[in-house]
Amino acid sequence: MADYTINVGNVEMTALADGVSMRDPLAIFPGSSLQEWRLVPGALYAGDEIMSRVGTTAVRSEGKLIVVDTGLQMPGAQLLEDMKRRGVDRDAVDLVVMTHLHGDHVGWNLTNGQPTFPNARYLIPKADWDFWTQEDVMSDYPHIGQQVTPLEEHKVLDLMEDEYQITSELTTMLTPGHTAGHTSIVISSAGEKGFILGDVANNPVQITHSQWTPIFDMNPGMARRTRRAVLEMLEQEGHLVSAGHFPDPGFGHIVKVSGRRYWRGV
Ligand SMILES: [Zn+2]
């Protein structure tokens, strides 16, 4: 069975999920073809669909419990049950960090109008806050008014610039393109390195086909450049990666075999 908790030096990561959704790969990646998908082992499920996990990573660092992204809270959502199953107490969460403000990353910020994590500060990349809280954007994306802006009224919100130090072991890295302020997290502890990817890639196929950009990438050109630079770094430095939308539990490495990069799950 897959290991849902894994260490990077003294930092512990636990994979959590709010659920999974099955999707048509060509609708999500219009630049791809079914023939190419079929050449990638494990990429397609029954009916030629791809799977997207709605993942969250819980991180323990220097006595702090940090939750990165909060799922979608769709019908049948499982995040709170999954936290119980994996020993993550929501009352004990010190910080909630959002990689970006898409609806499937902020869904459990609040429950019935109250912070789901009652003792936590909530951290949002400033460039994403600035974009998503514009009046015309908010009217198109109701999840912002439901799950994001109330954090300010509850006085639990902090905004992060690039290279924000969450703990001395966890530092944010601006990885824009998917959204304007999209942010990943670099883990560095006891000589080991880890990386919380966010949506720099939405499917493991993008490790090999880094030019494939899903319809969710708001600036596709910038998302591609960011993806290539990040993958290069992860491959060369050997980070243990936590990828929220990749199949359970979403931990793995970027490896190069015969000149091509692949996702190697652990
Ligand atoms: Zn996203």
Q: What whole-number distance in Å separates Cα of residue 201 and Cα of residue 160?
A: 22
pLDDT tens, position by position, 132-141 = 999 999 999 9
C-alpha 40 – ligand 1 centre gap (Å):
23
C-alpha 127 – ligand 1 centre gap (Å):
15
In this prediction, residue 40 carries a pLDDT of: 87
First to last CA, the chain: 11
For residues 204 and 245, is the Cβ–Cβ distance under 8 A?
Answer: no
In this prediction, residue 41 carries a pLDDT of: 84
pLDDT tens, position by position, 71-97 = 999 889 999 999 999 999 999 999 999
- Which residues of the chain are under the pLDDT cut of 70? 1
Q: Phi and psi (nearest 5°) for 222? A: -70, -40
List the beta bridge partners of residue 256.
261
C-alpha 12 – ligand 1 centre gap (Å):
24
What average pLDDT does the structure give for the chain?
A: 97
3-class DSSP assignment, residue 167: strand
In this prediction, residue 16 carries a pLDDT of: 98
C-alpha 190 – ligand 1 centre gap (Å):
31
**Could you tell me the strand order of the sheet in which 240-242 lies?**
165-167, 170-174, 183-189, 192-196, 240-242, 251-257, 260-265
C-alpha 199 – ligand 1 centre gap (Å):
5
C-alpha 102 – ligand 1 centre gap (Å):
5
Domains and CATH numbers, the chain: 5-265 (3.60.15.10)
pTM for this entry: 0.97
C-alpha 216 – ligand 1 centre gap (Å):
6
C-alpha 220 – ligand 1 centre gap (Å):
13
Q: What whole-number distance in Å separates Cα of residue 223 and Cα of residue 170?
A: 23
In this prediction, residue 20 carries a pLDDT of: 95
C-alpha 161 – ligand 1 centre gap (Å):
19
Q: What whole-number distance in Å separates Cα of residue 14 and Cα of residue 59?
A: 6
